[in-house]
Amino acid sequence: MSVASASGAAWNAQRRRVLDRDGWVCTSCGSWLAFDHPDPRHDATVDHIEAVIHNAGKVYDDSELASMCRSCNSAKGDRPLVRVTWWDREIFPNGLPC
């Protein structure tokens, strides 16, 4: 899925603004950041606090974004919500009521 809001000049400006606000430091592990750094622990990314996948096309406010190194960002990822793959069979003997 392509995310139009995650590209272009507006996003670049916003990304830089968020990094400036956070002092070019990863909000997760505290390491210093630079654009296009070969070391993922120092490669600057801006994380959507809520994954983009749940809000396609939404315009994000700076307060919804956080500076993060690529290492932390990929650990967090844009994974969809974890699906429920089990349930308490004593409470719901016939499966989850849905």
Binding site for Zn ion (CB under 5 A): 26, 28-29, 69, 72
Distance, CA of 5 to CA of 58 (rounded, Å) = 7
Instruction: CB nearer to Zn ion: give 39 or 50.
Output: 39
Tell the smallest beta-carbon distance from residue 27 to Zn ion (Å).
Answer: 8
Distance, CA of 55 to CA of 78 (rounded, Å) = 12
Tell the smallest beta-carbon distance from residue 26 to Zn ion (Å).
Answer: 3
Tell the smallest beta-carbon distance from residue 37 to Zn ion (Å).
Answer: 12
Distance, CA of 73 to CA of 5 (rounded, Å) = 18
Instruction: CB nearer to Zn ion: give 25 or 52.
Output: 25
Instruction: CB nearer to Zn ion: give 49 or 96.
Output: 49
Q: Would you give the distance in Å from CA 39 to the centre of its chain?
A: 19
Tell the smallest beta-carbon distance from residue 69 to Zn ion (Å).
Answer: 3
Of 21, 44, 45, the C-alpha closest to 32 is 44
Of 44, 12, 38, the C-alpha closest to 26 is 44
Instruction: CB nearer to Zn ion: give 11 or 24.
Output: 24
